[in-house]
């Protein structure tokens, strides 16, 4: 159950609006507000959170820093990226850094609340454009040594249908599997995305002679 | 071919000076019985003569085609002749026989007279060619030659006759200088040159005339020993060397010193080689072995490195050319011309690079290999490279080919860069237009909309479009299938939230592509239709179907709701908006309302294909 939530957002109106949505979804939840990256980092260091909504473009830096810091201190915290103008590539890097998903702030309140509760309950959503970008990423990186981040055929199918604009339920129907299975496939894809980007970073570091052995 | 290089001419001058100086010694040794001792005055005269020819020869070697350096060279040769001819007199009064003395004296006098004629010639053509200079020169040369012949043949016998000739010459030189001074009244550069070079001549030759020639001409004793007074002529040549840099005398610059430096280095190496051969103790076994060891281990490596540096030819591989082209083409605009010159300098190492009037698009060799013409390029005017490899080579077909290749590579790089810059600017214009046309118009519509719900929808759409512009900024054209996939995902969410069943096949059904503005228009149109279904139709299903026909793409959007009121058709629910989007696509849109709303949009393939 969600008891404490962190919202990192620099626009005052939007911060209030997001707070309202969180409180509507989880009545009685304690909401801590941060207005910039530095503030966000301090809050993350000070206490634990069950849920964090983090804007990527902050006046003093990237929300990615707050996200990484949170996942480092609390592996199990649910981190969600909120964005309006972020480029797809930023969202993919947030996912690979451990974000459970992302929300577009222009979505209307009712729909956003629905998406939020789904994400918080571990049902990830993924937009077609992001799905296509992730497919492209795995196509490019190819198989890597160590912990194998390559997608299974089933995962690739899920990603492919999502990339064509199918919702989780529709993907489940098309592949004759349970919706929860689709969700776990997507979570696995996100996890592998993190691994593959780490492995790629390590490979790059090795190639440049920056580390003897990267983990 | 090497015969035309400055280096070859410098060697020629050097040989002439060595030969002349050597003959002085030969004469002296032949006449002498026993040991000879050479007094400082002897060396001083040798130094004066050789200094004069060295400097004038150096100038001529670099500008052999111009008139002024030719006269200047003649003056230098004359100086060498008139100093060397009488140098031997310093060794001892009785060394030469009387006839030899008389002959040498005559050579000295002829040299002095020739010097005067050369100087008159020089200032008749330099800094400016005076009108009728040829006639004046011919007249002066004939008068002084006849006068000299009369003196040499004994027709004129009064004492100091030769000095009267040189004195008259000096007066004429001063007159010509005054003419030049007047002539250069509107040309400050010529006047500066005149003051410098004319001043050097007036002082150098003038001092000699005043202290030696003038007193002798009228029967008085010279004020200064004539042999010392020869040194005054050095003032002319040293003044000229000093003025090269500052006033670009004879159109030379600092590169003239570079040429001299290289020539001197080569001469030095040859001299060292000769010296080593001469001093090797050939008759002493161990000493010879040791000397050879030192020469092999120390001298040869140093000499080789030096020679390699001197004669190094730039490796003109394609890779090297490409590197130079890239350096130039991608340099900031205001540095490009300088970088281009630097590239040419490092590739061909010419002594001089001149700006010239453009005359052709092609590289061309000029003055029989002395120059290489390069057309206007890389924000640089047309250039002329002079004297390949610091004056040690001539431009030949292979250099011309390399340069032409370089020019073509450069042109292509410039075109690519221009295309890239054009692309960036077009892209900027496109983004600005997208923002203006879409975002601006939508926000304006939202501002003027009185319905709160609709205002929100419009602002949301603006944000979504804005994100799309950002994400697709570099893309030229978009696959319809990608755009429809995104739209399907979004619509599916909205329909699910409203409890409407979506019937939209996962397979895109087309592989056509659309230009961004058309893509945007189609997206907005479909979104608008979906919004209408959600908000007004009270429908339970929404369907999307696409057929890719030969000439057009047909999209059918339908719901099973209440339909619309034909009377309000032109005012509400953004229908006019959808019509204008369809117009932008160059297509048609038809609305019908039988058992729900049905919208048929047809887009001509010609629109979608423009993205190729």
- Whole-number pLDDT of residue A215: 41
Q: Looking at CA atoms only, how far is residue B460 from chain A in angstroms?
A: 5
Quick one: fold of A4-132? Answer: Rossmann fold (3.40.50)
CB contact under 8 A, B492 and A129: no
Find the helix or strand (DSSP H, E) in which B389 lies.
helix B388-391
CB contact (8 A) between residue A166 and residue B493: no
Q: Which residues of A touch B489 (CB under 8 A)?
A: 127-128, 162, 165-167
Query: Read out DSSP for B360-377?
Result: -SS-EEEGGGTEEEE-SB
Is B487 in contact with A165 (CB distance < 8 Å)? Answer: yes
Chain B neighbors of A123, CB-CB under 8 A:
none
Q: How far apart are CA A51 and CA A74, in angstroms?
A: 11
Query: What are chain B's domains?
Result: 2-247 (1.20.1070), 252-315 (no CATH), 318-419 (no CATH), 477-610 (3.30.565.10)
Q: Å from B435 to nearest chain A CA?
A: 14
In this prediction the pTM is 0.49
Domain edges within chain A: 4-132, 153-207
| pLDDT at A70 exceeding the cut of 80 | yes
| Distance from C-alpha of B399 to C-alpha of B405, rounded to nearest angstrom | 10
Q: What is the CA radius of gyration of chain A?
A: 17
Of B482, B492, B497, the CB nearest to A132: B482
DSSP of B297-351, one letter per residue? IIIHHHHHHHHHHHHPPP---HHHHHHHHHHHHTS-HHHHHHHHHHHHHHHH--S
B127: cis peptide before it, omega within 30°? yes
Distance (Å, rounded) from C-alpha B312 to C-alpha B390? 11
* Residue B273 vs residue A50, higher pLDDT: A50
Give Cβ neighbours of residue B441 (< 8 Å, ≥ 6 apart). none
Predicted confidence (pLDDT) per residue in A14-28, tens digit: 999 999 999 998 888
Q: Which tens digit of pLDDT belongs to each residue from B3-18?
A: 667 778 888 898 999 9
Kind plus residue range of the DSSP H or E element containing B127: none
Confidence band for A139, pLDDT divided at 50, 70 and 90: confident
From residue B528, give the alpha-carbon distance in Å to each of B95, B461, B470, B522: 120, 10, 22, 10
Which residue ranges in chain B fall short of pLDDT 50?
Answer: 1, 474, 609-612
Q: Which of A87, A114, A163 faces B470 most closely, judged by CB atoms?
A: A87
Mind telling me how many Å the CA of B467 is from chain A's nearest CA?
A: 5
Residue B486: which of A107, A110, A128 has the nearest Cβ? A128
Taken in order B578, B579, B584, B588, the sign of the CA dihedral is positive
Cross-chain Cβ contact B494/A88 below 8 Å: no
CB contact under 8 A, B506 and A88: no
Residues of B within 8 A of A170 (CB-CB) are: 492, 506
Mutation site for A-interface testing, chosen from B435, B460, B467 by largest number of A Cβ within 10 Å:
B467
Average pLDDT of the residues in A160-179: 89
A153-207 is a CATH 1.10.10.10 domain: yes
- Chain B residue whose CA is closest to A89: B471
Q: What is the 3-state secondary structure (H, E, C) of chain A?
A: CCCEEEEECCCHHHHHHHHHHHHHHCCCCEEEEECCHHHHHHHHHHCCCCEEEEECEECCEEHHHHHHHHHHHCCCCEEEEEECCCCHHHHHHHHHCCCCEEEECCCCHHHHHHHHHHHHCCCCCCCHHHHHHHHHHHHHHCCCCCCCCCCCHHHHHHHHHHHCCCCHHHHHHHHCCCHHHHHHHHHHHHHHHHHHHHHHHHHHHHHCCCCCCCC
Cα–Cα distance, B91 to B30 (Å, whole number): 13
Q: What is the pLDDT of residues B445-476, one digit of tens each?
A: 788 777 777 788 778 878 877 877 777 654 55
Could you count the other beta carbons within 10 Å of the beta carbon of residue A22?
A: 22
Q: Which residue of A85, A165, A169 is in closest CB contact with B489?
A: A165
pLDDT at A214: 38
Beta carbons of A166 and B506 less than 8 Å apart: yes
Place of tokens 């007036």: B202
Q: Do domains A4-132 and A153-207 have the same CATH topology?
A: no
Sheet holding A101-104, edge to edge: A30-34, A4-8, A51-55, A78-83, A101-104
What is the C-alpha separation between A193 and B467, in angstroms, rounded?
Answer: 23
Query: Which of B486, B496, B497 is facing A165, going by the closest CB pair?
Result: B486
pLDDT of A147 strictly over 80? no
pLDDT at position A112 over 70: yes
Size of interface A-B (CB pairs under 8 A): 71
pLDDT at B612: 39
d(CA B428, CA B424): 6
What count of other Cβ atoms lies within 10 Å of the Cβ of residue A111? 16
Which residues of chain A does B470 touch, with a Cβ-Cβ cutoff of 8 Å? 85, 87
* A127: chain B residues, CB-CB within 8 Å: 486, 489-490
Q: Which of A86, A108, A111 sits opposite B456 (nearest CB)?
A: A108
Specify the pairing of strand A57-58 against strand A61-62. Answer: antiparallel
């Amino acid at each position: 159950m969600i008891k404490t939530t962190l919202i990192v957002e620099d626009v005052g109106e939007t911060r209030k609006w997001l707070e309202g949505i969180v409180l509507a979804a989880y009545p009685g939840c304690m909401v801590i507000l941060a207005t910039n990256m530095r503030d966000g980092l301090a809050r993350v260091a000070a206490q634990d959170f069950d849920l964090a909504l983090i804007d990527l473009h902050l006046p003093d830096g990237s929300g990615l820093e707050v996200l990484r810091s949170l996942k480092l201190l609390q592996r199990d915290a649910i981190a969600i990226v909120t964005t309006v103008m972020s480029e797809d590539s930023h969202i993919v890097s947030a996912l690979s850094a451990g974000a459970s998903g992302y929300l577009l702030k222009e979505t209307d309140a009712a729909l956003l609340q629905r998406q939020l509760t789904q994400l918080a309950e571990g049902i990830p959503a993924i937009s077609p454009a992001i799905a296509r970008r992730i497919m492209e990423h795995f196509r490019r990186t190819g198989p890597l040594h160590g912990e194998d981040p390559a997608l299974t055929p089933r995962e690739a199918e899920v990603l492919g249908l999502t990339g064509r604009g199918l919702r989780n339920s529709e993907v489940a129907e098309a592949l004759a599997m349970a919706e929860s299975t689709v969700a776990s496939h997507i979570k696995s894809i996100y996890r592998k995305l993190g691994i593959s980007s780490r492995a790629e970073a390590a490979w790059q570091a090795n190639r440049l002679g920056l580390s003897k052995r990267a983990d | 071919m090497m015969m035309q290089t400055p280096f070859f001419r410098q060697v020629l001058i050097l040989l002439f000076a060595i030969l002349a100086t050597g003959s002085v010694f030969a004469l002296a040794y032949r006449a002498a019985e026993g040991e000879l001792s050479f007094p400082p005055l002897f060396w001083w005269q040798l130094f004066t003569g050789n200094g004069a020819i060295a400097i004038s020869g150096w100038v001529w070697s670099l500008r052999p085609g111009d008139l002024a350096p030719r006269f200047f060279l003649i003056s230098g040769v004359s100086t060498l002749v008139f100093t060397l001819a009488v140098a031997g007199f310093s060794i001892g009064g009785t060394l030469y026989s009387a006839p030899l003395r008389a002959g040498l004296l005559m050579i000295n006098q002829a040299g002095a007279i020739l010097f005067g004629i050369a100087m008159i010639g020089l200032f008749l053509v330099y800094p400016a060619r005076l009108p009728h200079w040829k006639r004046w020169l011919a007249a002066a040369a004939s008068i002084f030659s006849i006068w000299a012949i009369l003196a040499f043949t004994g027709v004129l016998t009064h004492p100091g006759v030769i000095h009267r000739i040189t004195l008259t010459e000096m007066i004429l030189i001063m007159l010509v200088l005054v003419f030049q001074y007047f002539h250069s009244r509107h040309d400050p550069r010529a006047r500066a040159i005149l003051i410098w070079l004319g001043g050097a001549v007036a002082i150098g030759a003038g001092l000699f005339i005043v202290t030696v020639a003038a007193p002798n001409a009228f029967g008085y004793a010279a004020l200064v020993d004539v042999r010392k007074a020869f040194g005054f002529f050095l003032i002319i040549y040293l003044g000229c060397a000093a003025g090269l840099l500052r006033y670009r005398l004879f159109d030379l610059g600092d590169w003239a010193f570079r040429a001299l430096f290289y020539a001197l280095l080569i001469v030095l190496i040859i001299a060292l080689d000769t010296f080593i051969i001469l001093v090797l103790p050939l008759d002493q076994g161990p000493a010879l072995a040791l000397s050879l060891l030192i020469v092999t281990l120390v001298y040869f490596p140093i000499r080789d490195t030096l020679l390699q540096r001197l004669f190094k030819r730039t490796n003109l591989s394609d890779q090297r050319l490409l590197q130079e082209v890239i350096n130039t083409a991608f340099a900031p605009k205001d540095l490009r011309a300088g970088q281009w010159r630097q590239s040419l300098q490092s590739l061909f190492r010419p002594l001089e690079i001149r700006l010239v009037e453009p005359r052709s698009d092609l590289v061309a060799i000029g003055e029989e290999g002395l120059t290489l013409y390069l057309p206007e390029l890389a924000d640089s005017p047309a250039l002329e490279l002079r004297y390949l490899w610091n004056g040690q080579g001539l431009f030949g077909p292979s250099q011309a080919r390399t340069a032409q290749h370089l020019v073509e590579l450069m042109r292509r790089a410039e075109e690519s860069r221009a295309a890239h810059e054009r692309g960036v600017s077009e892209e900027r214009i496109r983004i600005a237009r997208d923002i203006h046309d879409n975002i601006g118009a939508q926000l304006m519509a939202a501002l003027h909309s009185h319905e709160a719900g609709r205002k929100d929808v419009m602002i949301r759409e603006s944000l979504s479009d804005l994100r799309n512009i950002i994400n697709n900024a570099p893309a030229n054209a978009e696959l319809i299938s990608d755009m429809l996939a995104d739209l399907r995902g979004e619509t599916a969410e909205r329909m699910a939230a409203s409890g409407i069943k979506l019937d939209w096949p996962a397979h895109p059904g087309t592989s056509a592509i659309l230009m961004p503005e058309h893509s945007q228009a189609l997206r907005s149109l479909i979104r608008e239709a979906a919004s209408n279904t959600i908000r007004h139709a009270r429908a339970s299903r929404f369907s999307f179907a696409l057929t890719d026909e030969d000439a057009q793409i047909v999209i059918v959007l339908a719901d099973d709701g209440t339909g619309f009121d034909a009377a309000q058709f032109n005012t509400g629910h953004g229908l006019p908006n959808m019509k204008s989007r369809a117009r932008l696509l160059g297509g048609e849109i038809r609305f019908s309302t039988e058992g729900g709303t049905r919208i048929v949009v047809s887009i001509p393939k010609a629109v979608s294909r423009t993205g190729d």
